Chain A
Amino acid sequence: MTESAAVSRVLRIPALTRVEGEAALHLVIKGHTVIRAQLKIYEPPRFFEAFLRGRAHTEPPDITSRICGICPVAYQLSACRAVEDACGAVVDGQLSALRRLLYCGEWIESQTLHIHLLHAPDFLGYDDVFRMSRAHVTHVQRGLRLKQAGNAVIELLGGRAIHPVNVRLGGFHRTPARSELRPLAERLRIALEDAWDTVRWVSGFDFPDGECDVDLFALAEPDTYAIESGVPTVFPAGGTRTLHSFPVHVFPDHVAEEQVPHSTALHSRLDGRRHLTGSLARFAISGHLLSPLALQAAREAGLGDPPLLPRAGAALDRGSTNPYRSILVRAVEVLYAVEEALRIIDAYEPPPRPHVDVPPRAAVGHGATEAPRGLLYHRYALDSEGRITEACLVPPTAQNQGAIEEDLRHAVQAELARGVVDESELARLCERVIRNHDPCISCSAHFLDLDIERHGSQAKAAD
């Protein structure tokens, strides 16, 4: 063993910041090689899957929204879809358009929050949005205005922005009159400008190189950018296998959750491989279905044309999968969501009833939607009275954990190869790498301590 190979160390970051929820990172470095990168999620378990048992089939939308305050609509709508699937209810027409509108509100709000308040400070060299706002006040104000427009959509349709009260099985408790949506449209027209300016702003950032060589996983619809529904679709890494889909009913056969000792969040694997959900995956799989305006924005942002869905056997071009550029895709998705919201409002006719009936029956139901951070899957088993006998929730962050760890390993490895050994620099880099994926750790867990483990002679220096 050479001298350098014998030296291994552990790096510690006390707490990961500017992510939702809290977690820790454990890096073991031997010589110049990263031996292990573990995202350690310490979030005390909250046991949703356990206490949902015995609850009525009407309850998951309200209860599971409390898993995450950042994407409650995603939880509510995945829950609705799963229970409606079990009960054989179909929500379509204007009711499903309203759901998409509500979800657009969450995309605008949540993606804008991540872009301006959590992620942009990385590119501009600030610790937080408060400090960043001194030199970049117009950008921050625009971000807050855009975020507010997203919140306004959720507030109008849902009653309030966090844990909306108006969502129920089969639709809504109350649907709005056309006139109620008019002021919202005014606001969204201003938001459309703001969304454009945001795309221009973030496209001026400096993007380090990076590549995510894992399977990409997102819902797909035949003729629209999937948000509130769709078919699970895989865009494989490596380009040797073809793009493929499977019905949501067989989700558990493909995405397996396993427990690892270092985390309270379960890790998942897609057909035994690491995979990534979220903006990059959505853009690679459905980018060609964005509106002409959003496509133009993507082109101007330097994302290029998203790949056309390849025919079986055709060469697979996955477009940009540089995780640092995820902020660009998010900005384009915000623009799309604003436009889509305006389109839905324009075409809105109040439905005859605010909801369809969802009578209980003994069955198992599956539901998946595209949370801002990626594919969120719910499954419920019901008895004949509608009592839940089993619940299973697979959030995006649990799915992305493996890909994030792989990304961390690559990034730190590259830095070490460049001769960077300074711990605070490495720690800063790790946080950036994690933030690229906008992980929502509260959905599974919290508390991120980064420790880089170094063994051998440098161990003392690390302590």
Chain B
Amino acid sequence: MSGPVQPPNSGRRPRVGVFKFASCDGCQLTLLDCEDDLLAIAEEIEVAHFLEASSDVGCGPYDLSLVEGSVTTAEDAERIRRIRAESRRLVTIGACATAGGVQALRNYADVTDYLQTVYARPDYIATLATSTPISAHVPVDFELRGCPIDRSQLLEVITAFLAGRKPGVPNHSVCFSCKRRGTVCVTVAHGTPCLGPVTHAGCGAICPAYGRGCYGCFGPSGTTNLPALVPLMRRDGMSDEDVRRFLHTFNVTAFAAVEEALEEEDLP
């Protein structure tokens, strides 16, 4: 991540592009879900490229590109390089774009097997063996976490860009948000396994407020201590296989350190 994003210096409205790679569209939908602010945002920027929302498809350069989704084909690896070359600032939105997303589960399997499971004629399908985050291909100016991203964090990133400052997106864990929300800790009170201690804040600690443990959809927080969490999850009845599955879902590459944590714990 580099420093603050700068607005264009002329008086024109900044040109914003929204781009999709392998994803579910949920993160770009978050933009359309900013109902109260949508028209106001659209006044401040020029929507230069946003296939889901507009038939007016403009070409670069873009002042700000919001990129959703992960890279899973050779053409997409090429396409993200073109987009980067045409973008002053590039922000990735969501777990797919910042960590490869749920589709990165293939990185730990044999993609040929996967193809044969889904398709009768795998030879028709062009795909890479991996699903990789955008930052594995091009430099990224800011990564917004979440599967999906949080609406107010997205607004913060866009307004920070318009104001030429660094987005104020905290790096602490979900636990902090639980405390702020006044939610009773589900692990302490009910022995419910929860990834809150190692998960990046941003959602407002929704899951514990609804009586379930955090399943890590925002990916790891700034400082994670997986080795400390693993014994707690074992205490609460999870096998190593369960722990692995728990962490290997929406941010599988970002939580890859779980393997080390499990091994460390196996030592006598």
Which residues from chain A sit less than 8 Å from chain B, CB to CB? 14-22, 43-51, 53, 55-56, 59, 62-63, 66-70, 72, 113, 117-118, 121, 127-131, 133, 137, 140-141, 144-145, 147-148, 151, 159-163, 165-166, 168, 173-174, 258-259, 261, 264, 266, 354, 431, 440, 442, 446
Q: Is B10 an interface residue (CB 8 A)?
A: no
Q: Does B12 contact A (CB under 8 A)?
A: no
Let me know if A128 and B24 touch, CB within 8 A: no
Nearest CB of chain B from residue A24's CB, rounded to whole Å: 12
Give bound CA distance, A59 to B28, whole Å. 25
| Contact partners of A43 in chain B: CB under 8 A | 22
Measured in the bound complex, the distance between the Cα atoms of B127 and A303 in whole Å is: 45
CB A378 to nearest CB in B, in angstroms, measures: 15
Nearest B-chain residue to A158, judged by Cβ: B210
* Residue from A15, A63, A259 in contact with B102 in the complex, judged by beta carbons closer than 8 Å: A63
Instruction: Tell me if B188 is interfacial: C-beta within 8 Å of chain A.
Output: no
Q: A130-B42, A141-B39 are in contact. Are A18 and B53 (CB under 8 A)?
A: yes
Interface residues of A, dominant DSSP: loop
A128 to B48 Cα, complex, angstroms: 11
CB distance A163 to B148 under 8 Å? yes
Sample 10 A-B pairs with CB under 8 A, ordered by A number: A21-B25, A22-B20, A50-B117, A55-B245, A69-B25, A69-B148, A121-B55, A128-B56, A144-B38, A162-B29
Q: Shortest Cβ distance from B164 into chain A, in angstroms? A: 23
CB distance from A138 to the nearest CB of B (A): 12
Nearest first, the 6 A-B pairs at minimum CB distance are A69-B26, A128-B54, A50-B114, A127-B56, A50-B117, A51-B105
Beyond A160-B203, A264-B125, 11 extra complex contacts between A and B, CB < 8 Å = A21-B20, A45-B118, A66-B24, A69-B28, A159-B210, A163-B147, A165-B212, A165-B215, A166-B210, A442-B24, A442-B25
Min CB–CB distance A90 → chain B (angstroms): 22
The reply on B64 being an interface residue by CB < 8 A is: no
Q: What are the residues of chain A within 8 A of B207 when measuring CB–CB?
A: 159, 165, 173
B16-42, CB under 8 A of A: which get 1 and which 0?
000011111111111011011011001
Q: Are A117 and B210 in contact, CB atoms less than 8 angstroms apart?
A: no
The chain A residue with its CB closest to the CB of B23 is A442
The reply to whether the CB of B254 lies closer than 8 angstroms to some CB of chain A is no
Q: How far is the CA of A70 from the CA of B23 in the complex (A)?
A: 12
Asked if B51 CB lies within 8 Å of chain A CBs, one says yes
Interface assignment of B1: CB less than 8 Å from any CB of chain A: no
Q: What sequence of 0s and 1s flags, for each residue 56-76 of chain B, a beta carbon within 8 Å of any chain A beta carbon?
A: 110000000000000011001
Q: How many A-B residue pairs have CB under 8 A?
A: 181
B125 to chain A: which residues have CB within 8 Å? 45, 264
Q: Which residues of B contact A163 (CB under 8 A)?
A: 26, 147-148, 217
* Number of interface residues, chain B, beta carbon within 8 A: 64
Which residues of A have CB within 8 Å of B102?
46, 48, 51, 63, 66
B residues apposed to A, CB below 8 Å: 20-30, 32-33, 35-36, 38-39, 42, 47, 50-57, 72-73, 76, 101-103, 105-106, 109, 111, 113-115, 117-121, 124-125, 127, 131, 147-148, 203, 206-207, 209-212, 215, 217, 242, 245, 249-250
Contacts of B118 in A (CB 8 A): 45, 47, 49-50
Whether A51 and B114, one on each chain, are in contact in the complex, defined by CB atoms closer than 8 angstroms, is yes
Shortest Cβ distance from A15 into B: residue: B51
- Please measure, in the bound complex, the distance between the C-alpha atom of A163 and the C-alpha atom of B249, giving whole angstroms: 14
Bound state CA distance, A128 and B39, in angstroms? 12
- Pick the residue among B27, B32, B109, B206 that contacts A159 (CB under 8 A): B206
B268 to chain A, nearest CB (A): 29
**Distance of B37 from chain A, by nearest CB (Å):** 10
> Which residues of B are found within 8 Å of A21, using beta-carbon distances?
20, 25
Contact A259-B27, Cβ < 8 Å, known A151-B35, A160-B203: no
Shortest beta-carbon distance, B35 to chain A, in Å? 4
In angstroms, how far is the closest chain B Cβ from the Cβ of A173?
A: 4
Is there an interface contact between A69 and B245, defined as CB atoms closer than 8 Å?
no
B233 to chain A, nearest CB (A): 15
Assess whether B212 is in contact with A173, with CB atoms less than 8 Å apart: yes
Contact partner of B22 among A46, A127, A266, CB < 8 A? A46
Residues on the A chain within 8 Å of B103, using CB: 46-47
Contacts A22-B20, A50-B114, A66-B24 given; indicate if A148 touches B54 (C-beta within 8 A). no
- For residue A258, give the distance in angstroms from its CB to the closest CB of chain B: 8
Question: Would you give the shortest CB distance from A158 to chain B, in whole angstroms?
Answer: 8
Report A-chain residues with C-beta under 8 Å of the C-beta of B72: 44-46
User: Contact at B26–A72, with CB atoms within 8 Å?
Assistant: yes
